[in-house]
Amino acid sequence: MSLPFLIVPLAAAAAAASGVPTQHNYRHAFVSPMGEPFYADGSRGALEAWFNQADRNRDGVLTTEEMQADAERFFATLDADHDGEIGPDEITHYENVIAPGMRMNLLDLPEPVIAADTDLNRGVSLDEFRKAADQRFRALDVDHVGRLTVALIESLSPAPPPREKTPDTLPGEDALPPQ
């Protein structure tokens, strides 16, 4: 299992062990596990917007098949020249136009589209994208029940950033809050 897929379960376990409830921060903007940006639409948050469109049968549960179908839909959007591969120019378009600077994703993948390039040929095939969708689904399915819900996904949200460092802070220490 690769490192990115360990981050979410470890973060969730740490939050659960600390007794501190986790809060999602995807109210306004969210990047799906496959890298597609979503925005709040007034009646629902960005995470819910993605989940509801990926949940094809509208049962409130996302399966690996639904996640793969959603990946195929997004792949078709990214594969602008329809040659069956998201090539370097299409990846550049994704990074600069479709999701510039968006890094609010569940798996902490800095570039979720190119991360699917398992053969390192600088392009992503539909097969690679489908396999990445399945792997990402399994990484999010921390209960190993083959289903995701909005509540489960919200509980997996990344922890807040570390507290601000001060000049008096030793390396490796967090600054203490003012008293």
The overall pTM is greater than 0.85 = no
Helix (H) or strand (E) holding 77: helix 64-78
Within a domain: residue 179? no
- CB within 8 A of 144, min separation 6: which ones? none
pLDDT, tens digit (0-9, with 9 covering 90-100), for 99-154: 997 766 778 888 999 999 999 999 999 999 999 999 999 999 999 999 999 999 98
Q: Which residues pair with 85 in a beta bridge?
A: 125
Residue 62 falls within a domain, yes or no? yes
> Residue 52: what are its φ and ψ, rounded to 5°?
-65, -35
CB neighbourhood size of 136 (10 A): 26
Residue 178, domain member (yes or no) = no
Residue range(s) defining the domain that contains residue 104: 3-155
- State CA 123 to chain mean position distance: 20
Indicate the number of domains in the chain.
Answer: 1
**Do 97 and 124 form a contact (C-beta atoms < 8 A)?**
no
32 within some domain: yes
Domain-located, residue 166: no
169 within domain boundaries: no
Determine, yes or no, domain membership for 126: yes
* pLDDT beyond 90 at 163: no
In whole angstroms, give the CA distance from residue 79 to residue 110: 20
Instruction: Please say whether the beta carbons of 8 and 140 come within 8 A.
Output: yes
- Could you read off the pLDDT of 74-87 as tens digits, one per residue? 999 999 999 999 99
Alpha-carbon distance 48 to 71, whole Å?
Answer: 17
Instruction: Supply the angle between the helices 126-140 and 64-78 in degrees, to the nearest 10.
Output: 140
